[in-house]
Structure 1
Amino acid sequence: MKALDATDRTLIALLQDNARLSTVALAKAVGLSRSTVQERIARLEDSGVIERYTVRLGQGGDPLQAWLLLRYADGFSCDDVMPSLAALPQVQLCHSVAGDTDLMVLVQADTPTVLADLRERVIALKGVDDVTTVPVLRTTLDRR
């Protein structure tokens, strides 16, 4: 696949903000013909840059979200901890990172009490040494 250019990145950003934009609207936004935009989107899909189109729920009734910043116990790694985390339905996203934190885990909970209980379950997992909880107050940009 050829490298993404500025137009590809603009199309991706527009679709991340609203995946239901019509090809005509996308074409108008980037100053290209509808057929050229269709070809670019097809190329992005075929190459796996665009993997899927999905629905993200709006602000009405959003659950509480928090990042759990995990540190592994000595001798443990991501491969040891991930199967247990993946089994928890509240776990939405995991990023292995470098620094004082080993793993950033985005979780959802209906209430602060449920979040606290989830945190206790995570810190009790084999291989987890410490958990710092960072509640999400507001999402100001999400292009996932």
Structure 2
Amino acid sequence: MKTLDDVDRKLIALLQDNARLSTVALAKAVTLSRSTVQERLQRLEAGGVIAQYTVRLGSGGDPLRAWLLLRYGEGFSCDDVVPLLVELTQVRLVHSVAGETDLMVLVETRTPGELADLREKVAAMKGVDDVTTIPVLRTALDRL
């Protein structure tokens, strides 16, 4: 896959904001022909840059989001903890990071009580030494 140029990055940003944009609307936004944009999108898909088109729920179903910052117990690693997290349907994203935190886990629940229960479940997992909970108050930008 060749390096992404400014047009590729703009197409990706437009699709991240609204994956339902038509090829014609995308072409107009980047001032290229529809067929050129279609070829670029096919190249981005084939190269694995665009993996899927998805739906993001609107404010009618806004979940309560929070980041759980996890530290491993002595002798444990990502390979021990992540498979346990995968089993929890409220877990949306897991990042392995460097520093005092070992894993950043984005979770979504319906209520603060459900978040508290989930946090306790994660804190009790084998291999987890510490959990810090950071509720998301507002999302200023989300291009995931």
TM-score bin, normalised by smaller chain: over 0.9
Q: Residue type matched to 2:129 in 1?
A: D
Number of matched residues?
144
Residue 126 of structure 1 aligns with which residue? Answer: 126
Structure 2 CA distance for aligned equivalents of residues 13 and 96 of structure 1: 25
SS at match of 1:125: coil
CA RMSD of aligned residues (A): 0.7
Residue 37 of structure 1 aligns with which residue? Answer: 37
Point out where structure 2 has 5 or more consecutive residues left out of the alignment: none
Give the TM-score of the pair, scaled to structure 2.
0.98
Q: CA deviation at 1:63?
A: 1.3
Among all aligned residue pairs of Structure 1 and Structure 2, give the percentage whose two residues are the same amino acid.
Answer: 76
Residue 20 of structure 1 aligns with which residue? Answer: 20
Q: CA deviation at 1:56?
A: 0.5
SS at match of 2:60: coil
Give 4+ residue runs of structure 1 displaced > 4 Å after superposition: none
Q: CA deviation at 1:141?
A: 0.9
Q: CA deviation at 1:61?
A: 2.5
Structure 2 CA distance for aligned equivalents of residues 41 and 84 of structure 1: 36
Q: CA deviation at 1:24?
A: 1.1
1:66-105 paired onto structure 2 within 5 Å: 66-105=66-105
Give the TM-score of the pair, scaled to structure 1.
0.98
SS at match of 2:104: strand
Q: Residue type matched to 1:92 in 2?
A: R
Structure 2 CA distance for aligned equivalents of residues 109 and 30 of structure 1: 38
Deviations 1:8-57 (CA, angstroms, capped at 9, x unpaired): 00000000101111111111111111111011001101111111111110
Q: CA deviation at 1:110?
A: 1.1
